[in-house]
Amino acid sequence: MITNIQFEVSPGEAGLRLDALVRARAPTSTAALVRRALEAGTILVQGRVAEKGGKVRPGEIVSIAELLEVSDLRVQPNPALRLEILFQDDDLVAINKPAGMAVHPLRPEETGTLANALVAQFPEIAALGDQPLLAGVAHRIDTDTSGLVLAARTAAAFEALRAQFAARRVEKTYLALVAGAVKRDGELTHDLAHHPTSRGRMVDARSLRVAERPMHAVTAFRVVRRVGAFTLLEVTIFTGVTHQIRCQLALIEHPLVGDTLYHGPAVRGFDRHFLHAAAVALAHPRSGDPMRIEAPLTPDLRALLAALEQNAPK
C-alpha cells in the first residue's frame, strides 16, 4: 500500500486529470483503485479533496494518504465459511454455492464470499489468474443464484478452463422455476445490453436507441413439470452474459419466481429468485476427458417446490 507521500505537479503534467496523474505516478496501483481512493478522500490537492476528473496545475501539491496497490488485492482466507464440495482433485474443485453468498469479493477487506472460503481450504488458488480477487474461480453466478461453481487449483488448469469457457465448450445447466405455464421446449436468442438508467438490469438491445456493447445470448430450455401456477424448467447455456437466463425468460413473459428485478412473482416466505446452477459438462483441464458434475438443489429450493406442489389444486 502506498501511504503518506506527496509530490509537486510538474509543468509537463499541467492539465492532466487528477486520476490520470496519480495513475501515472503510481504504476503499481490501478485506475479502479485510484478512483476508490479519490472517492474515499485519501488523495488531496493542496490539502483539499478534489474530483477525479479535475485538471491539475503546475506547482500544486498532491498528497496520497492511502492508495492500494495490485499486490494488496488478495482474497483473505475465511476458514469459518463452510464449503459443500461436489468434486475435487489436484487440478479442479467444484462447489455447491448457497444463495446469498457472492462468488468473490469486490474489495480486499471483504471476507464473506465463496472465494474467501476457497482460499482458506485451498491456499494455492489465491495467486491464480489475472484478476486477484477472483482467486482461481473460473466463472461467476449471481449472489442469489445457488449452485455449481468451478475453481482451478493450478495455473495450467486455470488457463485450460478459461480457454474452454471462452470457446463456449462448457455446457452449463440450470433449474429455473418460472411464472405461468410453459407449454413446450424452446430456444431463445437475443442481443442483451445494460439498461442505461436501471442499474444492474439487462434488456433486449433492440429496445434501446443506442445499445452499448450488446452481448449475444443463446438459452435453450426444456419443460420439466408444472408446479402449481408455475413451471420448472431445465435451462442450458453456453454463453455467459450477465443475467442471461433471468432476462431472456422475462422477455418471453416467464420471469423467475422471486426475481423482483425482472418482475417475477413473489412467493410468501421465499426471498430470492429460483435459479440453481445444477450441472456443468466440460473436458477435464489436465486429461481432456469429458466430465459432468452435478449440484443438488439447496434445501430452500426443495422446500419451496414441495410446498407449492402440496398446495397445488388436485
Q: If you search the block for the grid coordinates 398446495, which residue do you land on? A: 311
* Residue 94 to residue 77: CA distance in whole angstroms: 18
Instruction: Give me 40's grid cell.
Output: 474515499
What secondary structure does DSSP assign to 267-297, as a single string?
Answer: BTTB-S--EEEEEEEEE-TTT--EEEEE-PP
* Residue 240 to residue 250: CA distance in whole angstroms: 17
Residues written for the chain: 314
Long-range CB contacts for residues 255-259, cutoff 8 Å, separation at least 24? 255/178, 255/179, 256/176, 256/177, 256/178, 256/179, 257/177, 257/178, 257/179, 257/230, 257/304
| Terminal alpha carbon distance of the chain | 64
Residue 189: other Cβ atoms inside 10 A = 11
Return all residues near 66 (Cβ < 8 A) that are at least 6 apart: 1, 2, 3, 37, 40, 42
Q: Which residues are the active-site residues? A: 142
Q: At what angle do helices 18-25 and 31-40 cross, to 10 degrees?
A: 120
- Residue whose C-alpha is closest to residue 215's, from 189, 197, 196, 234: 189
The helix/strand count (H/E) of the chain reads as 6, 14
- Residue whose C-alpha is closest to residue 130's, from 83, 100, 162: 162
Residue 46: other Cβ atoms inside 10 A = 12
